[in-house]
Amino acid sequence: MSVTFADIEAAAARLEGQAIVTPLVESPALNERLGLRVLIKPETLQRVGAFKFRGAYNRLVQLDAGQRTRGVVAFSSGNHAQGVALAARLLGMPALIVMPSDAPAIKVAATRAYGAEVRFYDRLKDDRVALSQALAGERGAVIVPAFDDPHIIAGQGTVGLELARQARDLGAGLDLVITPVGGGGLMAGTAIAVNALSPATAFAGVEPEAFDDTARSLRAGKRMTLAPTLRSLCDALESPAPGELTFPVLQRLAVEVATVSDAEVADAMRYAYTTLKLVVEPGGVVGLAALLAGKVRPGDGKTVGLVLSGGNVDPDLFARAIGGEI
């Protein structure tokens, strides 16, 4: 099932009064440093501290009464987990989240605080999909994927819908839109929405060097799956492959993908904190990292929409990053 602009508009209607319409903000210091006009979309201010609430709520609100009684199962390192947990609580249904045993403690605690049950798995040894399917089968629950679902993609696309309309209201034409890329739900949904409203806009996704599956896939012209042996600071972006539904969208809309190192991510976290006065998690700051490191070069004077996708970072890791220890 392909996702259309109409699907994203319908998702926006469902999310009205539930999700926060995050602002579009500018930093003169950042603009001057880069020689660009950067319009920042801080999804750090979204419910659960990340854009993931949008897709989760759009998926869960469409479940029927019987499905709501049996509940949902999701697998996630943290932001999708929190989005599903909060959406389930708001809609009065049980939620079970399968999380890696090394997920950030702040994300685990928040997921439980929203009322979800948590089951852990070993991300290097266990098959989280198979585990989730088994648990869902036992309960008769609905599995809620993190990105490879048309309703999830449409919900995430409301980020792009808002961004394009907010830029228009500022009288700004978007030359480029940048988002992080894990499985591709945010990038795909955002690109569909922005392309409908601003067909001339180009797109760039950014992923960690150790999880460059989307960049490899686009070069190969087919979905490539990594066999992860390394970790990244960007726990939210450690997907081993782009989604079956998301990848064709990235191909069709000619999304370019850059990669950044952990050191570049830590530099961007420091810059966001000291200059932008924003707390951004590693996976959420990769777009800014790519701009600061020159991995994405839009061209002098261009207008760039930049999505900072989440702010859920463990305090100890954040302290080390802004303290220059990473």
CATH 3.30.420.40 for the 5-51+149-322 domain, yes or no: no
Among 27, 41, 52, 261, the active-site one is 52
- State percent of the chain over pLDDT 90: 90
**Are 241 and 224 contacting, i.e. CB atoms less than 8 angstroms apart?**
yes
Question: Is 52 annotated in the active site?
Answer: yes
CA 22, CA 33: separation in Å to the nearest integer? 24
Average pLDDT over residues 208-229: 93
Average pLDDT over residues 304-320: 96
* pLDDT reading at 1 higher than 90: no
Question: Is 309 annotated in the active site?
Answer: yes
CATH 3.40.50.1100 for the 53-143 domain, yes or no: yes
Partners of 119 in the β-ladder:
98
**Are 186 and 178 contacting, i.e. CB atoms less than 8 angstroms apart?**
no
**Are 113 and 107 contacting, i.e. CB atoms less than 8 angstroms apart?**
no
pLDDT of residue 184: 97
pLDDT tier at 105, thresholds 50, 70, 90:
confident
CA 154, CA 9: separation in Å to the nearest integer? 8
pLDDT of residue 127: 87
Answer yes or no: same fold for 5-51+149-322 and 53-143: yes
- State percent of the chain over pLDDT 70: 100
| pLDDT per residue as tens digits for the range 226-274 | 987 778 999 899 888 999 999 999 999 999 999 999 999 999 999 999 9
Average pLDDT over residues 170-178: 97
Helix H or strand E encompassing 73: strand 72-75
Average pLDDT over residues 169-188: 97
Partners of 180 in the β-ladder:
206
Structure tokens at 28: 């003169």
Least confident of 173-187, 232-246, 268-282: 232-246
pLDDT of residue 260: 98
CA 182, CA 317: separation in Å to the nearest integer? 20
Distance of alpha carbon 5 from the chain centroid? 19
Structure tokens at 82: 């929190």
Q: Which residue has the tokens 């069709």?
A: 252
Among 76, 232, 239, 309, the active-site one is 309
Residue 168 one-letter amino acid: R
| pLDDT per residue as tens digits for the range 121-160 | 997 788 888 999 999 999 999 999 999 999 999 999 999 9
Partners of 50 in the β-ladder:
310
Average pLDDT over residues 19-42: 98
| Domain residue extents for the chain | 5-51+149-322, 53-143
